């Protein structure tokens, strides 16, 4: 079962999100206007500039403002499924990934939670990095890692509905 400390920590994080630098990285101040040209479908982080996919993490800075196309988190996200697909996975799996208490909290504000969790998941290089971004306790990290190990091993029957 997920600890109440994690739920409290995540609630505090969400309440302070507007003031946090992580929030601004995951939720750019500049609203998304969309990249119209199909040859340049990638919108540079925190910008309205669009670039071709081959310029993401190509080792040549300068394609995006502040070289954010070469940023480690951008490079990780470029190799991951689309954020929308991560949100769909989290929506389908959150009750056993995060346990009953956090699942209830997620139920109260699904749009914000799934967006925030999917954003953190898409740029984290591993589960430990995701846990740091979401301020998971060591016990919650162990639970989260165990759930993913069960999924990896194909032992879905061993995953409780509310862990």
pTM over 0.85: no
Distance CA 97, CA 1 (A): 10
Q: List, by residue range, all CATH 4.10.400.10 domains of the chain.
A: 28-71
* Separation in Å, CA 25 to CA 30, 146, 155: 11, 29, 35
C-beta of residue 103 within 8 angstroms of C-beta of residue 123: no
**For residue 27, what are its two tokens?**
């939720």
How many residues are listed for the chain in this entry?
A: 163
Query: Tens-digit pLDDT profile for the chain (163 aa)?
Result: 445 554 455 445 445 444 445 555 555 555 555 788 889 888 887 888 889 989 999 999 889 999 989 989 888 888 888 888 888 888 888 877 876 667 777 888 888 888 888 888 888 999 889 888 887 778 778 888 888 888 889 988 888 765 4
Could you count the other beta carbons within 10 Å of the beta carbon of residue 104?
13
Domain 28-71 is classified in which CATH homologous superfamily? Answer: Low-density Lipoprotein Receptor (4.10.400.10)
């Amino acid at each position: 079962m997920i600890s109440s400390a994690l739920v409290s920590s995540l609630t505090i994080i969400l309440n302070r999100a507007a003031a946090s630098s992580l929030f601004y990285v995951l939720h750019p101040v500049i609203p998304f206007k969309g990249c119209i040209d199909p040859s340049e479908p990638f919108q540079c982080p925190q910008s309205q500039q669009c670039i071709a996919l081959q310029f993401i993490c190509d080792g040549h800075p300068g394609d995006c403002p502040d070289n954010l196309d070469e940023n480690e988190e951008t490079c990780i996200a470029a190799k991951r499924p689309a954020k929308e697909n991560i949100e769909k996975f989290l929506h389908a799996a959150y009750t056993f990934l995060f346990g009953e208490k956090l699942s209830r909290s997620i139920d109260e504000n699904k749009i914000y939670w799934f967006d925030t969790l999917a954003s953190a998941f898409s740029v984290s290089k591993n589960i430990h990095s995701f846990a740091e971004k979401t301020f998971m306790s060591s016990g919650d990290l162990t639970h989260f890692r165990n759930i993913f190990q069960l999924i990896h091993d194909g032992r879905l029957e061993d995953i409780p509905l509310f862990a």
